[in-house]
Amino acid sequence: MSTGQMQYIAFLVNQEPYCLWGYDLKEQSRSYLKGLDPDYFKYCLETHLETEDKKRASVAIRILLHQSLETLFTTIFAFLQAPHCPYAWINKCTTYELRNLVRATNASSTEIRTAFALEKLDWEDISRLIHSRLRSDKAYVISGYAQLWRRLANDFLNPLHIDEYNAFKHGFRAHSGGFKLAIGKQPSQSIPCPEEEMIALGESQFGSSYYRIAPVHGKVDRNLMAEHQSINWSIERDILLNQLIWTSLNNVISTMKIVNGWESSECQYQTPTDMDAFDAPWRHSPSIMNLRVGHQITKEYIDHFTKEDLLKKIYGEQS
């Protein structure tokens, strides 16, 4: 839309309206899309796979998985709600809003408006829209990517994965390495079961451990407790998922380019050869996925300090 030489685009971020103004919004969008490089994630994955330090490489690949997943969903919803100014949408969308959109799509919501004639937010309909420009047989591609994104959405919304990603990207809050879980009968209360008699339930060489900080009572409680959280990974699963996310991102950007004036011949789509490729990552999952260890602390067993109590203690100790 334009008013004289000045142009504007009205768009939604989830359900919040915004308006972008400028003199050449079409050129801004084309410039932005030209600069997108989905192959960056492919490059990072291949670089980490070439190293001999498997432990550090597994951490890098895991962080890359979290990052590329967030990028994929951000790009999908920027395309759906603001295809002609995705850079503005991305700038205004918080992680909280992004997760709400992913959650709404999992529920096939009819309350979220898009720039396209979608009656509801649904992964199947989104995949059909994004892959509508494919000339080959599209049935398995549409259903395969829809199934993939639905599964990835569950990972993206998983509180354990959210905490793990935050622990990794905010410095040395997470430690690398998987864990082993085994059980055995103790000869007596003070004597542990001999290691050779323990029965292994599962283990992984790769994983992460970090402290999860939780309120003792209620969401806004200032009295906290630490729980030791461990997560096991399958490096094979993470590699396959990174590859599928890269192809997904490539396809979303290709469709967004076509909507913004690119010729179809200038845009490439990446499609696995069959449905089996979409299922492959989930055949590589650790037998034991996660473990949380900590003392259960309740309000009744502590001196439950208020904000005022804590300020008195802190400033009193400093004086």
pLDDT digits (tens, 9 = 90+) for 244-293: 999 999 999 999 999 999 999 899 999 998 889 999 999 998 777 777 77
Query: Looking at residue 206, what is its pLDDT?
Result: 84
**pLDDT at 126 exceeding the cut of 60:** yes
Give the Cα separation of 88 and 255 in Å (integer).
18
* pLDDT reading at 136 higher than 90: no
pLDDT, residue 196, reads 77
Phi, psi (rounded to 5 degrees) for 287: -70, -30
CB within 8 Å of 189: residues ≥ 6 apart: none
**225-250 in b/e burial notation, b at 16+ Cβ within 10 A?**
bebebbbbbbbebbbbbbbbbbbbbb
Confidence class for position 203, pLDDT limits 50, 70, 90? confident
Give percent of the chain above pLDDT 90: 66
| DSSP state for residue 319 in the 8-state scheme | -
Instruction: Burial-class residue 141 by CB neighbours within 10 Å (0-12, 13-18, 19+).
Output: buried
Average pLDDT over residues 76-103: 98
Distances from the Cα of 131 to the Cα of 69, 102, 269, 294, angstroms: 19, 19, 8, 47
- DSSP, res 45: H
User: What are 18's strand-pairing partners?
Assistant: 11
Average pLDDT over residues 67-91: 98
For the ranges 2-11, 116-125, 209-218, 256-265, which has the lowest average pLDDT?
A: 2-11
Select from 123, 130, 147, 152 the least CA-distant residue to 276.
147
pLDDT given for residue 1 in this prediction: 61
**Spans of all domains in the chain:** 2-318
